Amino acid sequence: MDWKDTDYAGWGRALRAKGAIARPDTRAALNRLEAAPAFGMRRSYGDAALNSDGRAVDMSGLDRLIAFDPDTGQLQVEAGARIGEIAAAFAPRGWLPAVMPGTGFATIGGCIAQDVHGKNHHHMGSFGQHVSQITLLQNGQEISVKPGTRLFKATVGGLGQTGVILRATIKMQRCAGDVMLVTERRAPDWETHLALLDASTASYTVGWIDATATGEALGRGIVEEGESASGLVRKPKGARKVPFDAPHFALAAPVVRAFNQAYFYRVPARGRSVVRPLQDFFFPLDKIHDWNRLYGKRGFHQFQCVVPLEAADSLRAMLAEIAGSGLASPLAVLKRMGPGRAGYLSFPMEGYTLAIDFPNRPAARALIKRLEARAAEAGGRLYFAKDSLAQGAQIAAMYPDLPKWQTEVAKADPAGALETDMTRRLKLRSAT
């Protein structure tokens, strides 16, 4: 059977869809299917991977590594290959994908379609900047797409609207080995936190932020800097699972405050350096399978925006509003981004990005709406990989290249066969 009626959701589980899903595991099986939007491991939080009452193709079974050239570091893979599997297979041989997002479960197709970034964005730019070729399936035809073309720019960060991504060649970079040397430092407040991020020269830099701290401690957190290294370290333990949906009070405000307090003071005041398995540094949450169930069956939203460097104060004001709301979860990240981006709809801009999870409740949704308005006012941008609540007009103003993307998409998929819940909600293909 090719199509199966399925109830499915984005990673945040707040947005859901019902529709027919196919899961081909060979090219022949994929060729049998009529055109439909494709998704990978559905790690986008909102509705980027959903197609309510329509069809969608699960590409996670087409996940083979195809070829690797050790002279150039070029690796060709099928779109469903997981970034974490590639890292695990190649790091012992001294290679890593140049850019890796915060979960190893993201597929190469997904990394391209969202033009993801990693903890090294300030040096290496976005994922799409290290893609040297993409093979698309467009109306039954295979099309090879190269950097520098308009179709490439519309495909990278293009939410799968230019065709189904079948294969891609990515440029790997050299690494010292499969462990990370990690330096952790406390940042007692917002100013210090930004200063540490600004001054960091490490290959990988990220800040965990305590989004419940207020007053003097507003913006406090831990700045982590990492360099790849080789040596012996305990193998990561097998992943644990969340066996059921947690009750709604599991992440209630006092619990989160207590957790964050402990998490902050876990790092000594003078800082510390530790050696970690590569997976623990890059994909810390992958150790707990289905961690999204911690938010209960109502699910959660992640808010992520980036604002220009000069708008740092606006971001501080947003954080103050979040901290005052008592709605934040322990999962909050602050990072300085460089300018690197590869597509018309790529998220990154030079500035600071803040990402925070909120349980899916009316108060949190209202807060996110206010944060979105603030991000827009600050000249910032929202991230399609995370968004589930924004509106079309807001988005159009944040993405000035949207019309160029629309022109390419109209050529690539004139019938609109690849539209998703997200492109419809945000009117991405029609907004002016």
Q: Compute the least distance from the CB of residue 183 to another protein, in Å.
A: 31
Q: Decide if residue 72 touches another protein (CB under 8 A).
A: no
Tell me the residue type at 109. Answer: G
Backbone φ, ψ for residue 60 (5° rounding): -65, -15
| Coil, strand or helix at 32 | coil
CA distance 129 to 57: 26
- Secondary structure class of 77 (helix, strand, coil): strand
Q: Where does residue 261 fall: left (phi above 0), alpha (psi -120 to 50 degrees), or beta otherwise?
A: alpha
Distance CA 110, CA 98 (A): 15
Q: What CA–CA distance (Å, rounded) separates 395 from 303?
A: 14
Residue for token digits 């090879």?
144
Q: Does 303 bind another protein (CB under 8 A)?
A: no
The nearer residue to another protein, 90 or 344, going by C-beta atoms, is 90
Q: Applying CB under 8 A, does 31 fall inside the site for another protein?
A: no
CB atoms near residue 338 (< 10 Å): 17
Neighbouring residues of 295: CB distance < 8 A, sequence distance ≥ 6: 12, 13, 246, 251, 329, 357, 359, 360
Contact with another protein (CB under 8 A): which of 7, 53, 67, 232? 67
User: Considering beta carbons, is residue 21 or 378 the nearer one to another protein?
Assistant: 21
Which amino acid is present at 85? E
Give the shortest CB-319-to-another protein separation in angstroms: 40
Amino acid letter at 275? V
Overall size of the chain counted in residues: 432
Q: Which is nearer to another protein, 58 or 372 (CB)?
A: 58
Residue closer to another protein by CB (options 41, 156) is 41
Q: Which two tokens stand for residue 8?
A: 């499915």
Q: Which segments within 59-128 are labelled E, that is strand? A: 65-69, 74-78, 95-97
1 binds another protein per the rule CB under 8 A? yes
Told to check if 4 binds another protein by CB under 8 A, we report: yes
> Residue 247 CB, nearest distance to another protein (Å)?
27
Q: Is 229 in the site for another protein (CB under 8 A)?
A: no
Token representation of residue 139: 């109306």
Residue 420 contacts residue 49 (beta carbons within 8 Å): yes
If one asks whether residue 424 binds another protein (CB under 8 A), the answer comes out as no
Which of residues 11, 68, 281, 352 is near another protein by CB under 8 A?
Answer: 68
One residue of 18, 32, 64, 241 binding another protein per CB under 8 A:
64
29 touches another protein by CB under 8 A:
yes
Closest to another protein by CB, 85 vs 350, is 85
Q: Which is nearer to another protein, 40 or 340 (CB)?
A: 40
Minimum separation from the CB atom of position 82 to another protein (A):
11
CB of 199 to another protein, least distance (A): 39
Choices 2-10, 43-51, 155-163, 287-295; region in contact with another protein by CB under 8 A: 2-10
Judged by CB under 8 A, which stretch of 64-72, 142-150, 194-202, 337-345 contacts another protein? 64-72
Binding mask 76-115 for another protein (x = CB under 8 A): -------------x--------------------------
What is the rounded distance in angstroms from the CA atom of residue 79 to the CA atom of residue 287? 23
d(CA 268, CA 413): 55
Closest to another protein by CB, 92 vs 268, is 92
**Which of 16, 33, 55, 65 is close enough to bind another protein by CB under 8 A?**
65
The kind and range of the H/E element at 189 are none
Q: Pick one of 16, 52, 54, 61: the residue that binds another protein (CB under 8 A).
A: 61
Tokens of 409: 């998409």
Taking the least distance from each CB to another protein, the nearer of 73 and 348 is 73
Tokens at 9, concatenated: 């959701």
Options 13, 23, 121, 293; binder of another protein; rule CB under 8 A: 23
Kindly tell me which residue out of 18, 26, 195, 249 binds another protein, with binding defined by CB under 8 A: 26
**Rounded Cα distance, 243 and 395, in Å:** 37
Select 29 or 275, whichever has its Cβ closest to another protein. 29
Task: Indicate the residue type of 61.
Answer: G
Question: Considering only residues 16, 25, 183, 188, which one is a binding residue for another protein as defined by CB under 8 A?
Answer: 25
Q: Are 117 and 348 in contact (CB under 8 A)?
A: yes
Q: Which is nearer to another protein, 23 or 341 (CB)?
A: 23
Which residues are near another protein by CB under 8 A?
Answer: 1-4, 23-26, 29, 61, 64-68, 75, 89
